[in-house]
Amino acid sequence: MNDIEAQKIFDKLKLFHKMYDMIRFVDPVKKKTVTYKKGKIQEDGIKCFDFMETGKICDNCISIRAFQDDKSFVKIEYVSNKIYLITAVPIVVGDRRVVIELFKNATESMVYENNVTNRHEEIYSLIDNMNQIALIDSLTSVYNRRYINEKLPIDVLNAAITEKSYSLIMTDIDWFKHVNDNYGHLGGDEVLKVFAEMISKLTRKDGDWVARYGGEEFLICLPETEHNVAVDIAERMRKEIESKEILYDEFTIKITSSFGVYTFVPQEDTLIEDIIKKADENLYCAKRRGRNRVEG
């Protein structure tokens, strides 16, 4: 987007200039920005996440969500002792979609219950918890599908920039319908919780993450991980799960699981749907070959 295009759109947003402290365009894929502040356009080459002062791409990037889902999203951020309400709105400029971000300093207008002090650490913790609730699967306490949609594109972009291998593991519980049939849905819920806890414990703490993809299917993401390492991690998980006895009421439940591993070096035009599909195809290859195995 050039300055003339940006100025035309900013002129149409004059109604909002007094309502918001900052308005900017964001290309959420390349993380570039064009900012309108104090009546002037500023295109200084900064990354969109520099405003947050975290030094890294935001885990809960609403611009990515707005860009992908083609609808508006709102979040709260705490920056430099100030509370900002940020709205991300997707628009089409020329032949491509960008996102308008509207920043409102809400520090003075936020109201807290009496048991919440105004200490900055507590306010930040409160806001962080609010943002995390929307991204956590309530049953298993790992990340949810929304988090995959937000975080995976960011990981892939980082991997493309650094030219590092990225591995995904798709896994699910073999014959999970039998678990529900034999022990009821509460028994199935207990199995899902234990399963998620086990695979989470067997990931590395620095950068790896686990999310519930849907039903009994989980996605394990391993940044900067070669294929052989990812296969070893999946095999270790498979063995641990096979040997685990899950206690539910008076029952002892034994399960097995299957794993599909896919490793690649991302490019900037890598499609997220394609890499998930590759891992999923390898999972179903494991299913076809007898279950309780790793393929990829």
Q: How many angstroms separate the CA atoms of 54 and 75, rounded?
A: 16
Distances (CA, A) of 136 to 18, 40, 60: 36, 40, 12
Q: Which of 20-24, 51-55, 201-205 has the lowest mean pLDDT?
A: 51-55
Q: For residue range 127-136, what is the model confidence (pLDDT) as tens digits? A: 566 566 678 8
Angle ∠(208,211,217) on CA atoms, nearest 5: 125
Q: Which of 59-63, 169-173, 196-200, 285-289 has the lowest mean pLDDT?
A: 59-63
- Over residues 181-202, the mean pLDDT reads 97
Percent of the chain residues past pLDDT 70, beyond the cut: 74
Buried b (16+ CB within 10 A) or exposed e, 42-58: eeeeeebbebbeeeebb
Which of 253, 109, 101 has its CA nearest to residue 173?
Answer: 253
Within this chain, do residues 290 and 168 fall inside the same structural domain, yes or no?
yes
Q: How many angstroms separate the CA atoms of 2 and 152, rounded?
A: 29
Within this chain, do residues 193 and 109 fall inside the same structural domain, yes or no?
no
Query: Of 82, 113, 133, which residue constitutes the final position of a domain?
Result: 133
Please give the single-letter amino acid code of residue 154.
I
Give me the phi and psi of 266, to 5 degrees please: -70, 150
SS3 158: helix
> Is 139 contained in some domain?
no
Residue-level pLDDT at 198:
97
Residue 142 has pLDDT above 90, yes or no: yes
Q: For residue range 216-241, what is the model confidence (pLDDT) as tens digits? A: 999 999 999 999 999 999 999 999 99
Within this chain, do residues 111 and 208 fall inside the same structural domain, yes or no?
no
Within this chain, do residues 153 and 275 fall inside the same structural domain, yes or no?
yes
Q: Are 127 and 76 in contact (CB under 8 A)?
A: yes
Residue-level pLDDT at 293:
98
Within this chain, do residues 118 and 173 fall inside the same structural domain, yes or no?
no
Distance of CA 209 to the CA centre of its chain: 9
Compare 177 and 38 and report the one with higher pLDDT.
Answer: 177
The pTM of the whole model exceeds 0.75: no
CATH number of 91's domain: 3.30.450
Give residue 181's pLDDT band: very low, low, confident or very high (50, 70, 90). Answer: very high
Within this chain, do residues 93 and 172 fall inside the same structural domain, yes or no?
no
Give residue 114's pLDDT band: very low, low, confident or very high (50, 70, 90). Answer: very low
- Over residues 94-104, the mean pLDDT reads 78
SS3 168: strand
The residue count for the chain: 296
Within this chain, do residues 162 and 67 fall inside the same structural domain, yes or no?
no
SS3 124: helix
- Its domain, for residue 191, covers 145-295
Q: How many angstroms separate the CA atoms of 203 and 180, rounded?
A: 27
- Over residues 160-173, the mean pLDDT reads 91
Within this chain, do residues 103 and 164 fall inside the same structural domain, yes or no?
no
Q: Are 290 and 265 in contact (CB under 8 A)?
A: no
Percent of the chain residues past pLDDT 90, beyond the cut: 42
> Is 114 contained in some domain?
yes
Give residue 166's pLDDT band: very low, low, confident or very high (50, 70, 90). Answer: very high
Within this chain, do residues 173 and 43 fall inside the same structural domain, yes or no?
no
> Is 140 contained in some domain?
no
Q: Which two tokens stand for residue 138?
A: 């309530």
Query: Choosing from 108, 216, 240, 295, which is the catalytic residue?
Result: 216
Residue-level pLDDT at 116:
47
Compare 5 and 241 and report the one with higher pLDDT.
Answer: 241
Residue-level pLDDT at 261:
98
Within this chain, do residues 174 and 91 fall inside the same structural domain, yes or no?
no
Which of 250, 59, 249, 217 has its CA nearest to residue 140?
Answer: 217
Known active-site residue 216:
yes
Q: Which two tokens stand for residue 3?
A: 């300055």
CATH number of 255's domain: 3.30.70.270
> Is 138 contained in some domain?
no
Within this chain, do residues 149 and 122 fall inside the same structural domain, yes or no?
no
Q: For residue range 53-97, what is the model confidence (pLDDT) as tens digits? A: 666 667 677 888 888 888 878 787 877 778 888 888 887 766 677
Within this chain, do residues 125 and 171 fall inside the same structural domain, yes or no?
no
Which of 245, 241, 243, 244 has its CA nearest to residue 257?
Answer: 241
Q: How many angstroms separate the CA atoms of 199 and 279, rounded?
A: 16
> Is 219 contained in some domain?
yes
Domain total in the chain: 2
- Over residues 153-164, the mean pLDDT reads 79
Q: Are 135 and 150 in contact (CB under 8 A)?
A: yes
Residues in Cβ contact with 54 at an 8 Å cutoff, skipping those fewer than 6 apart: none
Residue-level pLDDT at 57:
66
